[in-house]
A = this chain, B = another copy of it.
Amino acid sequence: MGKAQREISISEFFAKNRHLLGFDNKQKALLTTIKEAVDNSLDACEEAGILPDLVVEIHQLEQDDRFRVVVQDNGPGIVRAQIPNIFGKLLYGSKFHSRRQSRGQQGIGISAAGLYGQMTTGKGPHIISKTIRGKAHHFAIQMDSTKNKPLITKDDELAEWHLKQGTRFEIEIEASYKRGLRSVDDYIKQTAVSNPHASVTYLAPGMEEARLYERASDVVPERGEEIKPHPYGVELGELMKMLRNTNSRWLSGFLQEEFCRVGPKVAKTIIAAAGLTERSYPSRIAREEADSLYRAIQAAKISAPPTTCLSPIGEERILDGLQKETDADFYAIATRPPSVYRGNPFQIEVGIAWAKPGNDLLDVDTSGRITKKKKKKNTADTENLLGNADEAVRVLRFANRVPLLSQQSSCGFTKAVINTAWKNYGLSQSRGAMPVGSAVILIHMASVWVPFTSEAKEAIAPYNEILKEVKLALQEAGRKLGQHIRKGKRVAQEFEKRSYIESYLPHVGIGLQEILGITDVQREDVVETLRDSMETKRKI
């Protein structure tokens, strides 16, 4: 049975399984292409400490299902020699091997978009890139999918370019452009929310002119530091590989140099527990000894990894974003302390926006007075994200500031929302279902490595450690929401009681007038006094 056995190139594999990369259908292909390019642009700007000015354009071509997509940034640019591999080779990049928070992490996305273009239109991507010191280069690239290698079809140096530095990615793809939920419009809007430091100029078919999402902050988010692996996250096989490849001469040095959070004392404890000696040669440690070392590491007490590597969005910006996009009556934000899964630090942030059922109900103004609530209008441009009170709440999911639009039902975040007891917090919920109410829940995970359920990076794998943290954050925000809703109910009940009594007050006045023979003015005085005394009593 040896015949016909052969190697499969990763590009052939993904071309055949392109739905794994987010190219399931024409509409999603458009979104994925733009998403991958924008992720890279934002990462590049952040790495270089540049405030991003992005241009995203979608141009419909003559044929109905063909589009030209442009994504341009003012980032640091890419050195000439790297351009073909970055855009024409799957599994190539700088982020996979670094433990640092970034949007891209696989080295697949942008070259997959190029491959998709090539498969559907026969045309590969065009890239223009300029570093601050270099000339601008214009590349056209095709991918040899049998070998997973770039074929350069154009390689020009441009005499001049309109940007002093930056990268422009342009490609023709088979696609379909639609508005609404999970559209590119939606993605751009959510990206602006989670990246308030970016300015995005967006042009899509049907728009008379480009739409500008202006930056709301002039501060580039601090770039998370790169960290070494944490001992708890390493597996036996990886440990063995590290022992073989280390430059450290002694076991004690190996532990301290290759891992974070291991000092001389911890190293000593681990080595003693494993029954080894500190001066063992790492490369000579046998499987059984490595196994003991592994178990000793798992049993040792080691502090959690440093969290300077994480760059959360921040409570204030989450609140800003929610306020900008929803017309809610109440907002609650919760931030968890950083935590760890498989040795990777991560941090969860949650925001809830909630509106009272029915916009014409009562409201409490800032001075505590009960008023009729004015119905707010949705502006044409910003569709209100809040659904009706009898609809499932909408969940906005973000990973390292990237909005996740697809695969909601298989996402760990969704699972955590479903597993939270929302009835305790004033929302209705059937067993095993999403809570119901006019609310939006925003969840963000910042991590040096986000475990996605597929290469398309659309949903978070439901690791227990992550589910737990999301749930705790939801509960914290949920408690605040519950308090607010209960208070609102009390106020509403109180108001009902008062209005009931108040409707009798004039009749009491008339009765008193008849009995006591007082004037109309006196009667009104009496009624007013009664009302005031009731008001005073209520406040107590």
Contacts and interface: CB of A to CB of B under 8 A. Distances in A.
B96 A13 contact: yes
Interface-central residue, A20, A122, A290, by most chain B CB under 10 Å: A122
Query: For chain A, which range describes its interface: under 10, 10 to 19, 20 to 34, or 35 or more residues?
Result: 35 or more
A199 to B, nearest CB: 21
Interface string A61-83: 00000000000000011110110
A16 B81 contact: no
Contacts of A368: none
B10 A79 contact: no
A118 interface: yes
A92 B2 CA distance: 12
A241 B118 CA distance: 10
Interface string A410-445: 100000000000000000000000000000000000
Interface string A271-290: 00000000000000001001
Contacts of A8: 91-93, 96-97, 106-107
A451 interface: yes
Contact of A92 (B5, B123, B236): B5
A48 interface: yes
Interface string A110-126: 00000000111111000
A19 B238 contact: no
A3 interface: yes
A309 B89 CA distance: 34
A24 interface: yes
A140 B407 CA distance: 40
Interface stretch (A187-195, A372-380, A453-461, A521-529): A453-461
A9 interface: yes
Interface in A216-262: 235-238, 240-241
B19 A453 contact: yes
How many copies are assembled? 2
A1 interface: yes
Contacts of A7: 85, 89, 91-92
A198 B237 CA distance: 35
A85 B5 contact: yes
A137 B290 CA distance: 29
A1 B73 CA distance: 14
Interface in A14-61: 15-17, 19-20, 24, 44, 47-48
A119 B24 contact: no
Contact of A241 (B19, B79, B82, B145): B145
A201 interface: no
B235 A13 contact: no
Contacts of A89: 7
A1 B240 contact: no
Contact of A19 (B17, B85, B451): B451
A494 to B, nearest CB: 37
B1 A77 contact: yes
A240 B410 contact: no
A16 B91 contact: no
Interface-central residue, A5, A76, A89, by most chain B CB under 10 Å: A5
A237 B119 contact: yes
12 contacts: A1-B48, A1-B94, A6-B94, A8-B106, A8-B107, A13-B106, A16-B449, A19-B461, A119-B235, A119-B237, A119-B238, A409-B409
List of 4 A-B pairs having minimum Cβ-Cβ separation, nearest first: A119-B237, A2-B79, A410-B410, A8-B91
Given A1-B94, A2-B81, A122-B236, 4 more contacts: A1-B47, A6-B97, A7-B92, A122-B240
